[in-house]
Chain A
């Protein structure tokens, strides 16, 4: 069991898993994900496409084997970090003093002779080292004073933090996948809908779509109100892309918008007739709501709208051909009390073609399409865990790579040459990647030699 644990947390297994994750992720990029099965069969042939579908390569990142790879990688990181935890804790918290012969065994080491007692030379040495951002500890040994100086202890902490924080990151993602929910919701102005698994409703108070002069979308925003089951307001906020509404763990994102082709508003008509005058009068009305023409007692109504009107000659019925606004038509009525003075379809684009000799008339000038908001309603119970992972890994990666690490050991003992001289043996860890380590060590010992002989 111990052996399995050691192998599972080994560097070799970690490297193998990194290679497998890289290659399988690459496959997931090369093969387009989430398309219709038939498209894979058409592109890769029946045999190749069938194999691809059976292996789940069309939805690779949600397959069990890819998730298993991620889980194995997490365990590898966890075991490896636990294995190293004790050594890391000891390295960070405890000083380690080396004996004279151990220091002489280091790749970078030197022997210097200084003036004064060993205590005096040791004191000068630690003061010099501390000025170079080393923390130095000293102990009196049986035959010599021993010094342990180092910098970059945070690097060890960073390494543990970097590796450990990967786990909350992945666990958070898993929790969100299992226990969270996410669904789209479209709402027109004034419309409301219940929020999944919660005893409250979301209402769209308004939706605004701003466009640039070239017609491109500049911005869109929605006024949202959350209501409890009694209809009381819980919270209100204007949301935009990048600025969601957050309430009790549920987030309401501005994800899209809709333009309903069959619902229009702010209809502008020009009505004419004996009581109005030959020039006519402009009337702005809302669908289904009668508008009185001032000073005439006439009421104008617009009941039905078709974006792409077609008159079927066989059935003699008006029909809508498509959702496109190719031939917008409105059924307009002009009433005087109970009497209907005008009732017919009027057309925005080809008004002159449909001109009639009736006493009352209406020209269809313009209208606004009714827009609605497109929301994404989401709960992610793993969000806090993901945040913890992101912050931990960010701090960890910066500490590991940007905090310089170096360690020096020294012993100071009385010189055989006389009572007023001490021998300092100093050694440093060497960076395997840095060919200048020796040059820097020589410069350090030169300065140190000058100081201890002063």
Chain B
């Protein structure tokens, strides 16, 4: 059976993200600017190929591919790659990208493990423009949390490493804290409006209730509560390591939320 073009492009993108992750790690060890440039260029190429894969699939099924686990995870990875460039422009540091690239790679590998059939015909409940708004914003916001997670990992690794030349290649603690905080500042409003409120409005239209304590709804609420806690703890002076741990718990909850309908069932169990 021949493979469709979108899936072929997807596999190319996966290899591209794998390659860029390796180049980024080499950059961390070698600390040569030229390697950093190659790493960013390969990331750009992989991002473009994945964008093409999403565009081809959109054309094939007639709507944004956000209706099953594979498609959501692909948009998730694409958004995380987009944030790589946003943060590269903001901070101009290859080292930050060195931690975002493996996160993108892990996300796209997770997508590759899921069934890839496309749903041209949606079940009646999903035939709504709210699907695109709700799922896309949820994916973008969770990708922002993923970027924060990458910065948090970098922060904790830097903390664990004793001072040395390798450690010095990492951005400063303050900058890593700022990268994480900025990513959450982007992600939190998108998550609140897209994942929670757009979802509630759509639920009211489709199921007749804004909020039904469905397992996935509660998991999303937990994610929101954790990041709300994160901001309030920062008002109490929490920075650095403690703040990073809360952010990491938040991202872990976001990933669990994605998988929750698979093992907890509920109204979101379409795929």
Report which A residues bind B (CB closer than 8 A): 11-12, 14-15, 18-19, 21-22, 25-26, 28-29, 32-33, 61, 173, 182, 212, 216-220, 240-244, 251, 253-255, 376, 378, 383, 386, 390, 393-394, 397-398, 400-402, 432-435
Question: Contact residue range for chain B?
Answer: 35 or more
- In the complex, what's the smallest C-beta–C-beta distance from B113 to chain A, in angstroms? 24
* B115 beta carbon closer than 8 Å to chain A: no
* B165 beta carbon closer than 8 Å to chain A: no
Known: A242-B127, A398-B193, A401-B185. A433 touches B121 (CB 8 A): no
Per-residue CB contact flags for chain B residues 196-226 toward chain A (1 = under 8 Å, else 0) read 0100111011111111010100110110011
Known: A18-B229, A435-B175, A435-B178. A29 touches B124 (CB 8 A): no
| Chain B residues in 8 Å Cβ range of A32 | 264
| 16 A/B residue pairs, CB under 8 Å, sorted by A | A18-B229, A22-B229, A182-B209, A216-B121, A218-B124, A240-B124, A240-B127, A242-B124, A242-B125, A242-B127, A386-B210, A390-B200, A394-B197, A433-B178, A434-B178, A435-B172
Query: Quick check: A173 and B189 within 8 Å, CB to CB?
Result: no
Considering the chains assembled together, what is the distance between the CA atoms of A21 and B181 in angstroms? 23
Query: Quick check: B192 and A394 within 8 Å, CB to CB?
Result: yes
Set A11, A33, A182, A242: member contacting B232, Cβ < 8 A: A11
Query: Quick check: B188 and A401 within 8 Å, CB to CB?
Result: yes
Considering the chains assembled together, what is the distance between the CA atoms of A25 and B228 in angstroms? 15
Query: Which of A12, A254, A402, A435: most chain B CB closer than 10 A?
Result: A435
Query: Quick check: B229 and A217 within 8 Å, CB to CB?
Result: no
Set B130, B207, B225: member contacting A18, Cβ < 8 A: B225
Residue of A nearest to B243 (CB): A433
Q: Is the interface of B mostly helix, strand, loop or mixed?
A: helix
| Chain A residues in 8 Å Cβ range of B55 | none
Query: Which of A11, A18, A182: most chain B CB closer than 10 A?
Result: A18
* B128 beta carbon closer than 8 Å to chain A: yes
Residue of B nearest to A34 (CB): B213
| Chain B residues in 8 Å Cβ range of A22 | 222, 225-226, 229
Query: Quick check: A220 and B193 within 8 Å, CB to CB?
Result: no
Set B130, B174, B175, B188: member contacting A397, Cβ < 8 A: B188
* B233 beta carbon closer than 8 Å to chain A: yes
Considering the chains assembled together, what is the distance between the CA atoms of A74 and B216 in angstroms? 23
* B123 beta carbon closer than 8 Å to chain A: yes
* B260 beta carbon closer than 8 Å to chain A: yes
Query: Which of A14, A25, A216, A401: most chain B CB closer than 10 A?
Result: A401
Considering the chains assembled together, what is the distance between the CA atoms of A19 and B130 in angstroms? 31
Query: Quick check: A241 and B189 within 8 Å, CB to CB?
Result: no
Considering the chains assembled together, what is the distance between the CA atoms of A28 and B216 in angstroms? 11
- In the complex, what's the smallest C-beta–C-beta distance from B257 to chain A, in angstroms? 9
Query: Quick check: A33 and B236 within 8 Å, CB to CB?
Result: no
Considering the chains assembled together, what is the distance between the CA atoms of A411 and B123 in angstroms? 66
